[in-house]
Amino acid sequence: MRGSKVRTAIFPVAGLGTRFLPATKATPKELLPVIDRPLIQYAIDEARDAGIERMVFVNHPSKGAIQDYVLQNRTLSALLRERGKSSDAAMLETLALDREEDAVFAEQAEPLGLGHAVLCARPFVLDGPVAVILPDDLIIGQQGCLSEMIAAYDATTNGHLVAVMQVRPNEVSRYGILSVTGREGAMETANGMVEKPAPDVAPSRTAVVGRYVLDPSIFDALETQAPGAGGEIQLTDAIARGIASVGLAGFHFSGKRFDCGTKAGMLAATLRLASQRDEFSNVLDAFIAEARSPAREPVPAE
């Protein structure tokens, strides 16, 4: 994917993670593991796979563990090698990023909203459109979601492109929903976007999830963006304001998205990935057999 217009990915990781308390009291949500890898690692791998040159992590000062995880730890590598664990050292070195070359840390001193977090990355982005990845939206599939989106963006689109999926009518109020004007293949054009509408007024069931490729005009829009829902500076509000000038499209990615900012989503993602690895088949088979067994203790009625 070399030569893409999209060279930078922004990772907003400065949020409070309140939906996952108490786990997130001392461990950032983005470091919670799905099996053996933290959420942030899946996001980094997806950006790498999409050919991203610079990754900008927008972090809160209290979440320094994210930086410790993302960057190389040469002391740990040396220690592992000394103890004969060279393959572990090599694995960590392959996963980690090198400061300045490809990873930059920006600070969001207060979690004022996703839009504000993206704005904090502005001084560090390379020329051209930027990708935004929310690490708590884990997308599992044959091809990386960002890679698919950037290929589509480079081929056909300018302006703003957002990852979308169809949701059920009773779910629209949890998402940004597009006002769809047309569809061609995986792309839907839109002339509006409504944040968390009630089901009876939702313009469609096309919901925005945590991958974006945004025209650089997004930063000027964010500079002047007033607080919206929840008193936060919303990224969707700034995207919506740019529709008239740069346009908006939704991209239906091929993978399956898991909302790992919630306990149920994290559990579902863990089961999905476990089911793809032979080493866990015994555990899963035993659990399923036990759950189906007639000898199981009946659950007492409430």
Nearest 5 degrees, angle CA 166-CA 131-CA 231?
75
Q: Is 279 helix (H, G, I), strand (E, B) or coil?
A: helix
Which residues touch 108 (CB under 8 Å, ≥6 apart)?
A: 12, 14, 58, 59, 60, 116, 117, 120
Minimum CB separation of residue 293 from ligand UTP in Å reads 36
- Tell me how far apart the alpha carbons of residues 34 and 119 are, in angstroms, rounded to a whole number: 29
Residue nearest to ligand UTP (CB): 15
Which residues touch 126 (CB under 8 Å, ≥6 apart)?
A: 7, 8, 53, 54
According to the binding rule CB under 6 A, does residue 112 interact with ligand UTP? yes
- Tell me how far apart the alpha carbons of residues 272 and 152 are, in angstroms, rounded to a whole number: 27
Among 113, 129, 159, 242, binds ligand UTP (CB under 6 A): 113
According to the binding rule CB under 6 A, does residue 47 interact with ligand UTP? no
Among 134, 164, 194, 248, binds ligand UTP (CB under 6 A): 134
According to the binding rule CB under 6 A, does residue 236 interact with ligand UTP? no
Stretch in the footprint of ligand UTP (CB under 6 A) among 48-56, 131-139, 142-150, 215-223: 131-139
Please list every residue from 56 through 75 that binds ligand UTP, using CB under 6 A. Answer: 58
- Tell me how far apart the alpha carbons of residues 204 and 183 are, in angstroms, rounded to a whole number: 13
According to the binding rule CB under 6 A, does residue 38 interact with ligand UTP? no
Is residue 130 within 8 A of residue 216, CB to CB? The reply is yes
Minimum CB separation of residue 169 from ligand UTP in Å reads 23
Beta partners for residue 183, in sequence order? 188
Return the exposure string of 253-265: e unless at least 16 CB atoms fall within 10 Å of the residue's CB, then b.
bebebbbbbeeeb
Among 6, 9, 10, 14, binds ligand UTP (CB under 6 A): 14
According to the binding rule CB under 6 A, does residue 15 interact with ligand UTP? yes
Please list every residue from 259 through 288 that binds ligand UTP, using CB under 6 A. Answer: 261
Among 18, 86, 181, 276, binds ligand UTP (CB under 6 A): 18
According to the binding rule CB under 6 A, does residue 19 interact with ligand UTP? yes
- Tell me how far apart the alpha carbons of residues 153 and 163 are, in angstroms, rounded to a whole number: 11
Among 66, 96, 114, 218, binds ligand UTP (CB under 6 A): 114
> Would you state the structure tokens that stand for residue 276, as one six-digit string?
């793809």
Stretch in the footprint of ligand UTP (CB under 6 A) among 44-52, 122-130, 132-140, 167-175: 132-140
Find, among 96, 100, 102, the residue nearest to 77 by Cα: 96
According to the binding rule CB under 6 A, does residue 108 interact with ligand UTP? yes
Stretch in the footprint of ligand UTP (CB under 6 A) among 114-122, 124-132, 212-220, 236-244: 114-122
Residues of this chain that interact with ligand UTP (CB under 6 A) are 12-20, 29-30, 58, 108, 111-114, 116-117, 134-136, 261
